[in-house]
Structure 1
Amino acid sequence: MKKLVAACAALTLLALPTHAQESESNAEEARPVGEQIGAGGRPVGAIWSRSPVHAQHGMAATAHPLATQIALDVLKDGGNAVDAAIAANAALGLMEPTGNGIGGDLFAIIYDPKTDKLYGINGSGRSPKGQTLDQLKAKIGDSDSIPAFGPLPVTVPGTVDAWFTMHDRFGKMPMDDILAPTVKYAREGHPVAPIIGAYFAGNLRRFESVLEESPFDFSNARETWFADGPPEAGEIFTNPDLAKTLETIGREGRDAFYEGELAQVMVDYLQRQGSAYSLEDFASHESTWVEPACVTYRKGYELCELPPNGQGFAALQMVNILKNVDLTQWERGSPEVIHYITEAKRLAYADVARFYADPDFYPFPMELLTDEYGKKRFALIDPTRATPEFQPGTIEVEPKLEGEGDTTYLTVADKDGMMVSLIQSNYRGMGSGMTPDGLGFMFQDRGELYSLDPAHPNAYEPNKRPFQTIIPAFVKKDGKPYMTLGLMGGGMQPQGHVQVLINIVDYGMNLQEAGDAARINHTGGRQPTEPLSGPAEDPLGTLNVEPGIPAETVAALEAMGHNVRVVDNGVMFGGYQAIARDPENGVYTGATEMRKDGQAQGY
């Protein structure tokens, strides 16, 4: 059974060896530069971090410097934060296709200063209406899970509809103007960023290894991205097919993608590969406006997340558990703090695997977000030992009868105070490997995350949205809008949101330090893809930590019963961006992720 968290990170973890593995395979070569010399000093702040960015009129933070510049150009040209976020997302689909693109899904939280409200959008796609669970099982044969590649894990791409849904409500600039910068870069080319170049190489190796075991049509993907091997850092990359696709979308609107010529190309291609999708499946797709939920941590800070089918509420459950202990009595890198964070994660994720699913089929039990429930779950933590296995809460929910990967996170804020927290993904690596003829993008493989157990809330059903890992976040302070926050990477995301919040609230780190600080990522435990009955395949899981966690802490955690692994390549610990707004003077502070190629910048 594939592991949810590992699913999003596995591709690049296999592709990018740790320093220890590098030194084994290249014993005769010189040590990497990072091992030859340590960090320099800084006049202020932690030596392992850098300064956050401050600006008054607008701010953008994305995983690629050129995407950040595009967002700022849109703001300067009179667009608002929604316009700029769409423009940046389109650019990232071209420049960072290893993590996202218009073949994937999108979620966002928008703060609108005019109404002083948060708005959530769920832009995730559904399974084919004409394919039952039994029919799907017949296609996958003896496998106990849905394959990661090929036509079967494809779900309807939700990103383009989400763009237009957000734009119809909040946008100012014409959509063709918003997409124009990416069209230009797609046609004329852009230089590949270093980490994205490494991810290209890892994706190609993984696709080719899978093709040997279970062939699927990779020809279009190879021609689009890998005709001369994986694009390397600094190489000029073009995607004229994507340029034409985005021009069509900008000119003809949402319907071109879901009902017009582009939809026909996609459906014809998928049906040739054995998919059950029809034009009706695409034409009937629509995004959903949803209500974010917020829970209070301490010192007036509230964390806000979107409801399932995403996993955002897992971060809220973790917050409700952790606020029952004062973490500041210990140092941030102490075994006690990491133990409590890890056990809170394991408790929350036991509920994720049991209760999180498409709410059109299985309503979410809001009792899971109450302070009382958080106290009950906290009481299950042994402060001195890792509990071998946590069970989900005993909450009865009546289902409705009628009806882990690579990602990009970006955030934009404008001069009027509008703030957008947006996350978008193709799920595992670049996606399914399936690229429709002449369109320049790859379909997502999000459907891999359905359960094949018909009794499970997340079971595959026709016209159903699968469990989703991608989650944007928002933070309020003293009841006022304060910060957008996101962190890429499968099951790392709720854990990362909580760790950043702890770094800021409990340990006084600035916005940049809160993201640069060493992180943990607990993987394993029960998964939303596993059967409800029977034991979890990996109940204790693995506590992955970065080298910044002290060696004595690692030893103490192992003595407490945790299965600890030190991972030093940064891949599985996510990609962070954030923007905070000073309520007194309106000045924005931006931060970006050192583990990615990105940039935070303002004006």
Structure 2
Amino acid sequence: MRNFQLPGRSPARATGAMAATSHPLATLAALEIMRAGGNAIDAAICASAVQAVVEPQSTGIGGDCFVLMCLKGQEPVIALNGSGRAPAAATINAYREMGLDKVPSYGPHAVTVPGAVDAWCRLSADHGRLGLDKVLAPAIHYAETVYVVQDRVAFDWANASDLLAQDSGSAAIFLPDGRAPRAGELHRQPALARTLRRIAEQGRAGFYEGPVAEAIVGRLRALGGLHDLADFAATKADYVTPVSAEYHGYRIHQMPPNNQGLTALLMLNILSGFPLSNLAPLGPERLHLEIEAARLAYRDRNDCLGDLPPGDDTVNALLSATRAERMRLAIDPDRAMTNLPDPGLAKTDTVYISIVDEERNAVSFINSTYHAFGSGITCAETGVVLQNRGASFRLDPDHPNALAPGKRPMHTIMPGMVTKDGRAIMPFGVMGGDYQPFGHVHLLTNLLDHGMDLQEAMDCPRVFYQGGEVQAEHGIPTDSIAGLQARGHRVSLADEPHGGGQAIWIDWDTGTLTGGSDPRKDGLALGY
């Protein structure tokens, strides 16, 4: 139990249904959809659409999504890959001929075809209870009328001002009066409202065909992009088989590659051989092991993951017990490794949504445009911010994540699901670009090794290895920083918080739901 004399909040607890998101309007909309007869799938799509409006720096219909879900709380875990692909004309040679030695972080050549809308439509048709007209209505309302800019949204929005100013469409919509809106100010997105209404009425065709697709493709081609209407028409989400690993009697499920979720499983496999429960949660011993396990796992991610071909055995090889033991033996509890390359990690923006309904349908849902405001390009006619997922591609033809026509890039956004004895225990996720595997493991070990309650596990201070150093949040004790430095780590105080997250724990014995939402964002968990 937390100390009620210190800042913090209790977990949300309920018996019926629960939603946990990074924005209060999204949490409220999800609950209202379930109260109106919708299920967790409807609620997750609704929340994601609302956040595409009210948290525009983190997500949008010009981005991608991934979903893990347990229908009525039972295995199997169903996984839907809603990530888009490179244009058919996007080849390494084409990029080289443009004088590029890597895929740019911003601009038209970083834009992959958005996959989220097709995934929403597929989920709604296959597993939803309400139609898209009802599910998208709250998002349309906020875009068309008005919404209040929340504090963390305003913070991120302001940081992206220079990028937004470089694009006429972005500046027109997101820099009213020449600046980013401040916390507490009002904002509208009428062009996006029209696009969402078209999707509500026409389904995927309202986005991937006709005027919306034509406007987006026209905008990209005017900037030199290689996109074509056929690329949009061909977009299709795919049901895939999750990857998973055991940790302390629980099974942790992740999306398979092209997703980086495997990285968290690698970390857990390594850490399972260390007595974490005997270590202080914020002590240098625990943090050092977490950092070193991450550095090893990210090395393998960078070397091995991408949109792997059918029959590829990379996943099984990486998750083998033999490999975990070999990586574990490489860690010196008293000294940082000096023989690893810098993994080149960065934090980016995302929204993660956790929903459980009265039937115990459990949904772990994540949606993103990658960096803040994605590629920096907005199609003003449609209000669609276009993602920059293509920036993940390599221009090395021998790399698993090499750019190729119609290929999906290696993706950072990763929903998680915990099961036990064939039932869902916790849909969970931690946002923050490359930080996400680190965040998943920190959250899970807080819960399963250190016995924290769900909100306490979210609140717990974090570290992240970035730029060749450990970046410690302000809550990390000074003694622990000194202990990390004594082990050879360079340590600095983080300029910004690491990620954000949500989770809902299902207690099948009592029939209760317990939710947590990260204080690093604006949102909350609520149930009824």
Same fold by TM-score greater than 0.5: yes
Which one-letter code corresponds to 2:252 in the other structure?
A: L
1:173 and 2:173 correspond:
no
C-alpha distance after superposition, 1:293-347 (max 9, x if no partner) = 221111x222111111111000001000000011122211111111111110011
TM-score (norm 1): 0.84
* Residue in structure 2 matched with residue 460 of structure 1 by the alignment: 403
TM-aligned CA distance change 1:45 to 1:326, over 3 Å: farther
Which of 91, 94, 99 is equivalent to 2:50? 91
Equivalent residue number for residue 97 of structure 2: 138
- Partners of 2:163 and 2:214 in 1: CA distance: 29
Q: Superposition pairs for residues 507-586 of structure 1, below 5 Å?
A: 507-524=450-467, 541-567=468-494, 569-570=496-497, 573-586=498-511
User: What CA distance in whole angstroms lies between the structure 1 residues aligned with 2:496 and 2:474?
Assistant: 9
Task: In structure 1, give the amino acid aligned to 2:260.
Answer: Q
Q: Secondary structure at the match of 1:117?
A: coil
The question of 1:343 aligning with 2:292 is answered: yes
2:420 maps to 1:477: yes
Partner of 1:527: none
1:140-155 equivalences in 2 (<5 Å): 141=99, 143-155=100-112
For the residue of structure 2 that corresponds to 1:125, the secondary structure is: coil
- Pairing 1:389–2:339 present: yes
Question: 544-553 vs 309-318, which deviates more?
Answer: 544-553
Look up the match of 2:318. Answer: 368
Aligned residue for 2:350, secondary structure, equals strand
- Contact 1:496/1:574, CA 8 A, preserved across alignment: yes
- The answer to whether residue 128 in structure 2 is matched with residue 128 in structure 1 is no
What secondary structure, in the 3-state scheme, does the structure 2 residue paired with 1:152 have? helix
Provide the residue aligned with 2:352 in structure 1. 409
Change (3 A) 1:238 1:259: same
1:115 to partner: Cα distance: 5.8
Aligned 1:155-304 pairs, distance under 5 A: 155-208=112-165, 211=166, 218-228=167-177, 229-298=179-248, 300-304=249-253
Question: How far, CA to CA, are the matches of 1:46 and 1:288 in structure 2?
Answer: 49
Contact 1:314 1:348 in 2 (8 A): yes
Counterpart Cα distance in 2 of 1:48 and 1:343: 31
In 1, the alpha carbon distance for the partners of 2:372 and 2:272 equals 35
Task: Give runs of ≥4 in structure 1 deviating > 6 Å.
Answer: none
Matched-pair contact (CA < 8 Å) for 2:109–2:225: yes
Q: Which of 47, 51, 63 is 1:104 aligned to?
A: 63
Check 1:178–1:83 CA distance in 2 against 1; reply closer, same or farther (3 A cut). Answer: same
Q: How many residues align?
A: 522
> Is the 2:18–2:526 Cα contact (8 Å) retained in structure 1?
yes
Whole-angstrom CA distance in 2 between matches of 1:365 and 1:197: 40
Asked if the contact 2:111–2:387 (Cα under 8 Å) also holds between the matched residues in 1, the reply is yes
Is the Cα contact below 8 Å between 2:417 and 2:427 reproduced in 1? Answer: yes
One-letter amino acid of the structure 1 residue matched with residue 189 of structure 2? N
Alpha-carbon separation, structure 2, partners of 1:446 and 1:389? 30
Cα displacement (A) at 1:586:
2.1
Aligned to 1:602: 527
Structure-2 residue corresponding to 1:529 = none
Unaligned runs of 5+ in 2: none
TM-aligned CA deviation for residue 205 of structure 1 = 2.8
d(CA) in 2 for partners of 1:471, 1:270: 27
Residue 370 of structure 1 and its aligned partner are, at CA, apart by 2.1
Pair 97,361 (structure 1): closer, same or farther in 2 beyond 3 Å: farther
Q: Does residue 257 of structure 2 align to residue 308 of structure 1? A: yes
- In structure 2, the partner of 1:357 is 306
**1:51, 1:512 within 8 Å by CA — same for their partners in 2?**
yes
Partners of 2:73 and 2:423 within 8 A in 1? no
| CA distance in 2: counterparts of 1:52 and 1:114, whole angstroms | 21
Q: Which stretch of structure 1 is more off in the superposition, 110-119 or 74-83?
A: 110-119
Tell me if structure 1 keeps the 8 A contact 2:172–2:380.
no
- What is the distance in 2 between the residues matched to 1:44 and 1:416? 34
Question: Which residue does the alignment assign to 2:376?
Answer: 433
CA contact (8 A) 1:362 1:457 kept: no
- Judged with a 3 Å threshold, the aligned counterparts in structure 2 of structure 1 residues 588 and 114 are, in CA distance, closer, same or farther, namely closer
Amino acid at match of 2:494: V
Which amino acid in 2 is paired with 1:588? L
Task: State the 1:207 CA deviation.
Answer: 4.0
* 1:54-69 equivalences in 2 (<5 Å): 54-69=13-28
Unaligned runs of 5+ in 1: 1-41, 212-217, 393-403, 525-540
Q: Which residue of 2 aligns with 1:504?
A: 447
Q: Deviations over 1:235-257 (max 9, x none)?
A: 11111111100000000111121
User: Which amino acid is 1:286 matched to?
Assistant: K
After TM superposition, give the deviation of residue 151 of structure 1 in Å: 0.6
Q: 2:307, 2:409 within 8 Å by CA — same for their partners in 1? A: yes
Pick aligned residue for 1:589 from 493, 514, 519: 514
Letter in structure 2 aligned against 1:168: A
Residue 48 of structure 1 and its aligned partner are, at CA, apart by 4.3
Q: Distance in 1 between matches of 2:474 and 2:159?
A: 23
Question: Deviation string for 1:448-481 (max 9, x for gaps)?
Answer: 1111112211111111111111000011234431
Output the CA distance in 2 between the equivalents of 1:318 and 1:545: 19
Matched residue type, 2:272? K
Secondary structure (helix, strand or coil) at the match of 1:79 reads coil
Determine the C-alpha separation between the residues in 1 that align with 2:188 and 2:309: 40
Identity, in percent, stands at 40
Partner deviation per Cα, 1:105-124 (whole Å, 9 max, x = no partner):
10110111276321011111
Conserved in 2, the CA contact under 8 Å of 1:122 and 1:289? yes
Deviations 1:368-404 (A, max 9, x none): 1122221111011112111112379xxxxxxxxxxx5
Aligned-residue offset at 1:500: 0.6
| CA deviation after TM superposition for structure 1 residue 568, in Å | 5.5
User: C-alpha offsets along residues 65-120 of structure 1, whole Å, 9 cap, x if unaligned?
Assistant: 01111000000000000000000000000000010000011011011127632101
Whether the 8 Å contact between 1:575 and 1:593 is mirrored in structure 2 is: yes
SS in 1 for 2:429: strand
Distance in 1 of aligned mates of 2:232 and 2:309: 18
SS in structure 2 of the partner of residue 406 of structure 1: coil
User: Which segment is superposed worse, 322-331 or 44-53?
Assistant: 44-53
Instruction: Output the CA distance in 1 between the equivalents of 2:140 and 2:477.
Output: 47
Q: Distance in 1 between matches of 2:83 and 2:340?
A: 30
Segment of structure 1 superposing worse, 252-261 or 114-123: 114-123
Is the CA contact 1:201–1:230 (under 8 Å) kept in the aligned structure 2? Answer: yes
Q: Assess, with a 3 A threshold, how the Cα gap between structure 1 residues 548 and 252 changes in structure 2: closer, same or farther.
A: same
